Structure formats: structure tokens, C-alpha cells
């Protein structure tokens, strides 16, 4: 059996490849998305104090450290039996929003846009962020400015721009000063202006693109707070493939609904609803689940989006557009929070004492989808068990099946052109996978993967 390998998959976080297997007629027999990285955070957290989890887990990833920081902090709140005060919760949400802004701006403008603006068949040496900057320098400058605001917001609220450290059991360690609030407010308004202006580009991103490419029929999982888009509060809602409500969870009960499993071709875990139904998470899932975004301009964009795709869509490439609507909503929400007089309050943490509960589960929305941190500790707060279920694991089935769908469409006479290979990568790229976050092996797999193509 002939094999075609795409390695590495480009413009994603981490290292991955695609293997396509052909039959004797040169037709695609099967294809898989393969990850061979291995990181052992779930193991080496064992033996650490639970209060260290919010400081250790951001090191899992440099792109989405705030999500791990906040999920771990939320879990420690439960273990110590405390609820952060109102200002502490607002600061945590603001930290989450900062990450969404810089992560979504990075993906949309720098990782995804080259395929759509320059063309998926453009030469590989041009089809990248440098080529985009040459083609559309003003767009590139605005993208950098928006992402800069997200990083500065993360730094101001989280203490560091890359691996934040200010969230801790019971709330936050450092308040936001009035001077810093005013500085961030100016930047937030600038970022919102960029996001609003950019919607004119985003709304036409998929014009002329067959959105059936890479489509997979699955259920969906995402957080909503009384039907309103939320990244920190509310239960995780489950939808079936036809949009029917399957249930919801908000803590330890997630194990009643989700199961993890492995396949022998990847170190990347898989997840599915119990009963065998596959699902996806992230921007596409969240926009399928929520009734509204909760901000003026994002709600208007969501209405347009639903005119094109309906209230529920399986179109994988629509992830790119859904992600932009979240970027717009995040910029609006940042302005709202920074306009709130309570954001500079001094009551930011509830004091903690001894361990109250031996288990804590923190669930939030990361930019790439629902994130679950599950810790079990002894009576002294030492971690005995840790399980992390990250968005990319939950999207693994969708990426794997989308890769095979696209491979069947573009492999011709047993050959794969450069442009056709990039179209397969575009399906993976739509999910904005974070491989560093997601590689926690269960089971065995082959390790060898050959590098035959690089862009």
C-alpha cells in the first residue's frame, strides 16, 4: 500500500503530520491526523501542592496559558471551598478575554488569512504571514496592534504576558490600578475599532469557498450562561448533531457524559460523549450553542453568520468566521469590563484555610474550546491524581475525519500537489489546534513519521 505523508503540518501550534494511505488504484484508502509529541504534565503534577497547579499548568503552552491558569484556579477554589468575590471574578474574566483577543487575532490574521487572502494555491514561500504583510501591510499592522492589546491586558491582570500567575485559590493576588485601567481602556477602544473594521474582511472570507470540504457530522459542547456567550461562567451544554439538547454539566459530573479514548496512530487523546456520539468544541460549537453573544456588534455579526449557515452548522471552515465573531465580542467585552467602576475594587480574594474537598474540577472556555482540569488531593492538599481534557483532544475526531474527507477530494491518480496538500492542512488549521496542550498518551502507537514536505 502506497503512503503519502504531509509533515509538518504548518501554521499550527506544535508538531503534527498527516498520513494518507492509497490502494492499488491510487485512490485514498484511509487518512489520519497524527501527533507524535508527548508531554507529561498530568504525571509530574502528582506530588505537587494543589495551590501550585495554577502556577505550573500555564507552562503547558505559550499560546493559551491563561486558560490553564484559570481552569486550575477554579479547581482549587472548589478544593478549598471558597468563592472569589465579585471583583476577583471580573478580573479573572478580563484575563480570559485578554487571551481570547491575542489568540484569535493571531490565528485569524496570521495563520488562517494567508490561505484565503493570498489563495490556497499560492506558492508556499508566499503563503504565510510575511507574504500577507507584503500583500496587505495595513492589515498586518492592525492585527499586530490587536494582539498587542491582548498581551498587555494579560500582563496587567495576570502579572505576566506569557505565563500569568495572579490567579490563586479564592480569587486574584493583585488588584487593577486606576492608572492601568485607563491605559488599557484606550487600547481596548483601539482594538474594538480594528475588530469592527475587520468584520468587512471577515464576512467575505469564505466567499466562493466550498464549505462542505472537511465537514464532519458531530455533536457540540460549549459553555453558555443562560443562553449568552461566556468564557468563565455557566454550565457546559451538549448538543446532538441535529441540535437537540443532550444535557449539561458544570463540575465533577462531567464524567457522566464524556469519555476519553485513544487510537494507535496518535499520542493525541480523543474524547466523545458517552454512548458513542462524537462531538466538537471551540468557536463553531459555541456559536451553535449560544442564543446571543451579549454585545452589540458581535450580536449583529452573529445574525449575519446565521443567515449564511443557519442556527446550527457542521461546516468546518466556518470555524474561521466564528472565531472572528468571538474576537469582536471579546474586544467589546473588554471595553465593558474596563468601564465597570468595580474592576478596580480592592476585594479580590476570599481567604482560604485547610482543604475542604478532596476533589476539584475547573471548567472554562479556552480559545480553542472547552477545557477541563480535574484534581484529586490528599488531606494536606498534595495532588494524587490529575486529568486534563483540552479542546484539541475533543476536536481530534473532527480533524482526523476532516483530513480523510479532504484527502479523498484532492488526491488524484495517486498524487498530491502542493496546493492540494495545503487544502488538507486548511481543515486542520480551521480548528487552531494546540498540540502542546493536548498530548497526553494513553495506549501505544508507532513513533516513526517521515518529513517529506515543508512549507
Provide the pLDDT confidence category of residue 44 given band limits of 50, 70 and 90.
confident
User: What stretches of 203-317 show up as alpha helix (H) in DSSP?
Assistant: 283-289, 296-309
**DSSP H or E segment with residue 280:** strand 279-280
Residues in the chain: 455
What average pLDDT does the segment 354-370 reach? 98
Q: Which residues contact 401 (CB under 8 A, 6 or more apart)?
A: 216
pLDDT one-digit tens code per residue, 196-253: 999 999 999 999 999 999 989 999 999 999 999 999 999 999 999 999 999 999 999 9
How much is the pLDDT for 422?
96
Which residue from 432, 431, 106, 100 is spatially nearest to 293, judged by alpha carbons? 100
Compute CA distances 263 → 33, 99, 141, 207, 395, whole Å.
11, 31, 42, 36, 14
Q: What is the CA radius of gyration of the chain?
A: 21
How much is the pLDDT for 155?
97
pLDDT one-digit tens code per residue, 295-307: 999 999 999 999 9
How much is the pLDDT for 443?
41
pLDDT one-digit tens code per residue, 66-113: 999 999 999 999 999 999 999 999 999 999 999 999 999 999 999 999
Amino acid at each position: 500500500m502506497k503512503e503519502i505523508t504531509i509533515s509538518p503540518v504548518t501554521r499550527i501550534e506544535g508538531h503534527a503530520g498527516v498520513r494518507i494511505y492509497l490502494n492499488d488504484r491510487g485512490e485514498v484508502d484511509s487518512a489520519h491526523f497524527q501527533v507524535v509529541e508527548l508531554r507529561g504534565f498530568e504525571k509530574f503534577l502528582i506530588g505537587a501542592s494543589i495551590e501550585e497547579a495554577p502556577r505550573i499548568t500555564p507552562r503547558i503552552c505559550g499560546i493559551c496559558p491563561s486558560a490553564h491558569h484559570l481552569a486550575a484556579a477554579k479547581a482549587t477554589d472548589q478544593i478549598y471551598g471558597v468563592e472569589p468575590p465579585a471583583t476577583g471574578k471580573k478580573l479573572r474574566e478580563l484575563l480570559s478575554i485578554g487571551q481570547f483577543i491575542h489568540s484569535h487575532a493571531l490565528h485569524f490574521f496570521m495563520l488562517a488569512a494567508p490561505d484565503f487572502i493570498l489563495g490556497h494555491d499560492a506558492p508556499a514561500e508566499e503563503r504565510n504571514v510575511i507574504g500577507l504583510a507584503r500583500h496587505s501591510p495595513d492589515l498586518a499592522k492592525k492585527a499586530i496592534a490587536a494582539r498587542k492589546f491582548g498581551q498587555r491586558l494579560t500582563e496587567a491582570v495576570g502579572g505576566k504576558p506569557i505565563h500569568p500567575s495572579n490567579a490563586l485559590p479564592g480569587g486574584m493576588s493583585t488588584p487593577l490600578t486606576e492608572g492601568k485601567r485607563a491605559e488599557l481602556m484606550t487600547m481596548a477602544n483601539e482594538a474594538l475599532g480594528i475588530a469592527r473594521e475587520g468584520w468587512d474582511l471577515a464576512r467575505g472570507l469564505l466567499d466562493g469557498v466550498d464549505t462542505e470540504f472537511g465537514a464532519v457530522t458531530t455533536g457540540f459542547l460549549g459553555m453558555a450562561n443562560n443562553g449568552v456567550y461566556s468564557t468563565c461562567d455557566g454550565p457546559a451544554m451538549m448538543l446532538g448533531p441535529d441540535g437537540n439538547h443532550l444535557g449539561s454539566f458544570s463540575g465533577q459530573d462531567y464524567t457522566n457524559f464524556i469519555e476519553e479514548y485513544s487510537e494507535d496512530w496518535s499520542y493525541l487523546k480523543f474524547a466523545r460523549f458517552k454512548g458513542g456520539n462524537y462531538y466538537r468544541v471551540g468557536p463553531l460549537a459555541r456559536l451553535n450553542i449560544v442564543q446571543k453573544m451579549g454585545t452589540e456588534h458581535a450580536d449583529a455579526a452573529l445574525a449575519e453568520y446565521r443567515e449564511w449557515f443557519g442556527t446550527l452548522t457542521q461546516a468546518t471552515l466556518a470555524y474561521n468566521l466564528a472565531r472572528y465573531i468571538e474576537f469582536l465580542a471579546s474586544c467589546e467585552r473588554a471595553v465593558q469590563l474596563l468601564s465597570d467602576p468595580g474592576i478596580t475594587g480592592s476585594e479580590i480574594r476570599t481567604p482560604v484555610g485547610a482543604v475542604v474537598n478532596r476533589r476539584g474540577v475547573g471548567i472554562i472556555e479556552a480559545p480553542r474550546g472547552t477545557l477541563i482540569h480535574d484534581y484529586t488531593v490528599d488531606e494536606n492538599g498534595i495532588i494524587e491524581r490529575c486529568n486534563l481534557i483540552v479542546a484539541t483532544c475533543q476536536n481530534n475526531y473532527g480533524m482526523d475525519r476532516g483530513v480523510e474527507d479532504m484527502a479523498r477530494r484532492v488526491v488524484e491518480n495517486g498524487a498530491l500537489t502542493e496546493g492540494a496538500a495545503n487544502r488538507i492542512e486548511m481543515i486542520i488549521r480551521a480548528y487552531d489546534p494546540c498540540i502542546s496542550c493536548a498530548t497526553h498518551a494513553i495506549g501505544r502507537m508507532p513513533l516513526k513519521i517521515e518529513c517529506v514536505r515543508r512549507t
